[in-house]
Amino acid sequence: MSDLSLDDDSGVINVGVDSFVGPLRDAGVDVTTVDWEPPGGVDASLRDEMAALGRYGGQIRDANDRAARRLVEARPVWRDVRTARAELPALDEMALCHSGPPVEWAEMSGPQRGAVIGAILYEGWADDETAAEDLAASGEVDFVPCHDQSAVGPMAGVISPSMPLAVVENEAHGNVAYSTLNEGLGEVLRFGAYTPAVIDHLEWMETDLAPVLSRALDAHGPVDLKRLSATALQMGDEVHNRNVAGTALLIRELAPTLASLDSAGSVSEVLSFLDDNEHFFLNLSMAACKSGADAAADVPWSTVLTAMARNGTEFGIRVSGLGDRWFTTPATVVDGLYFSDYSEADASPDVGDSSIAETTGVGGFAMAASPAITQFVGGHPQEALDYSREMYGITVTENENYALPALDFRGTPTGIDLTRVIETGVQPIINTGIAHREPGVGQIGAGVGRAPRACFLEAMRAFCAAYGDGEPPSEVAE
């Protein structure tokens, strides 16, 4: 678990902690030890604990290979569009899902509060903004992380019972993941806007968009999201913040079936909506990633991440070998490109589940696929290549299904290894949209952020504590 010699298959260069190498030496691997000081935040006690875990290096390595292989082998298909109430158990009650780790109304960020108000109005649980806020604060509404419901939502990530969800099945592992349908740009709920136009649009999505898409999928059969993502990565998308190709490829594939449905008027309206919304593929990509991440979860001994998610207040991660525990730290503001009239001072701290993309090896990790995105998130095309190259240093494997043309078709860096993040000091990068900090305003920019280190340190300590006795904790024991 401690070697940094990712590219050296003739042996292992061990950095610093001698006890890590025992199992490797025992296995006949040629090990070179060099001086190493762990990067910031690793105190003597954590260092000792990590060193003590070294004796289980082989187990951890095997577990990480297994978890990362699940990410690579996941085969997500878009199967249907169904109502959230029918699919997510938590939404049986008066409840709302939200992005990121758990959070209650009192601590919620502006955009998430705005989206909660909008969802309450959309559900008809309150008649106006004030009543909606009162209800949200009353404790009568349960707030549940999307991630706990096999779901993901971009930005505020609010899912209410009446919303249509994309149903994505991971055909390789049999699990299902969900996401909302992307609303488009402009004034939208996911950025915390809740004007009557936003609510009307959500209603159109429920009554017009969802049934047409559901009928089209029924007639067409499942849409292979893995193939679409792989192709989109050859076409300048990184399938997180740039989805022009994914969306166009999806339209191309569904258009013949859509045109054969007998409701020409609403089909044409649906195709216009898709044509106007270059991010439509984002939510499908997120559900596809989530279906892989859930398949990679709960692998005993694995230090591979299965979630990075933000609620605008906290940034949280989950680790495969630690089940569904969240490790959190305050979310920070993203340094990015701001739309005119806005600056970092207006920005909400980082928010949204869309970092499931990076968690599973695309998005920022696939920046090399997308030099054009630097015009949207800032930076120079060369940096897009550098970001991907850097991420190979903290990941377990390369996803050969997702080839990066500019890196000579090398597979995307996949499976973030908590241990490598701690050892190298390299924080995962995340491409993201930036919401205004006030409810109701919307998107004000986009940028490239880094996952904050503190929650990784906390997770590493928890991992050492959980596995220090040589046994997986009960929640992930096989």
Note the residues at the interface with a copy of itself (CB under 8 A): 231, 234-237, 244-245, 247-249, 251-253, 255-262, 264-265, 267-269, 271-272, 274-275, 371-372, 374-375, 380-382, 405-409
Smallest gap from Cβ 265 to a copy of itself, in A, equals: 8
Question: Token pair 């577990």 is at which residue?
Answer: 63
Cα separation, 339 vs 98, in Å, equals 26
Smallest gap from Cβ 242 to a copy of itself, in A, equals: 9
Cα separation, 107 vs 296, in Å, equals 30
CB-nearer residue toward a copy of itself: 42 or 212:
212
CB-nearer residue toward a copy of itself: 115 or 270:
270
Supply the DSSP symbol for 427.
Answer: P
For residue 90, what are the contacts with CB-CB under 8 A and spacing of at least 6? 97, 142, 144, 148, 149
Query: Distances in Å between the alpha carbon of 406 and those of 115, 322, 361?
Result: 39, 36, 16
CB-nearer residue toward a copy of itself: 139 or 405:
405
CB-nearer residue toward a copy of itself: 95 or 407:
407
CB-nearer residue toward a copy of itself: 141 or 248:
248
Smallest gap from Cβ 375 to a copy of itself, in A, equals: 7
CB-nearer residue toward a copy of itself: 371 or 425:
371
Which residue in 255, 286, 256 sits closest to 273, CA to CA?
Answer: 255
Supply the DSSP symbol for 94.
Answer: S
Cα separation, 124 vs 410, in Å, equals 50
Smallest gap from Cβ 183 to a copy of itself, in A, equals: 18
Smallest gap from Cβ 360 to a copy of itself, in A, equals: 22
| Rama region for 36: left / alpha / beta (φ>0; ψ in -120 to 50; rest) | beta
Residue 92: how many CA atoms within 13 Å on its side-chain side?
3
CB-nearer residue toward a copy of itself: 21 or 248:
248
Smallest gap from Cβ 386 to a copy of itself, in A, equals: 13
Q: Check: CB of residue 229 under 8 Å from CB of residue 361.
A: no
Which residue in 434, 435, 439, 417 sits closest to 426, CA to CA?
Answer: 417
| Rama region for 321: left / alpha / beta (φ>0; ψ in -120 to 50; rest) | alpha
Helix ranges (H only) for 393-434 are 418-424
CB-nearer residue toward a copy of itself: 16 or 236:
236
Question: Token pair 């929640």 is at which residue?
Answer: 475
CB-nearer residue toward a copy of itself: 130 or 268:
268
Smallest gap from Cβ 225 to a copy of itself, in A, equals: 16
Cα separation, 347 vs 256, in Å, equals 42
CB-nearer residue toward a copy of itself: 146 or 213:
213
Residue 154's beta-bridge partner residues?
none
Smallest gap from Cβ 278 to a copy of itself, in A, equals: 9
Instruction: Kindly tell me the sign of the dihedral angle through the C-alpha atoms of 373, 377, 382, 385.
Output: negative
Smallest gap from Cβ 217 to a copy of itself, in A, equals: 16
The residue count for the chain: 478
Cα separation, 333 vs 316, in Å, equals 15
Smallest gap from Cβ 43 to a copy of itself, in A, equals: 43
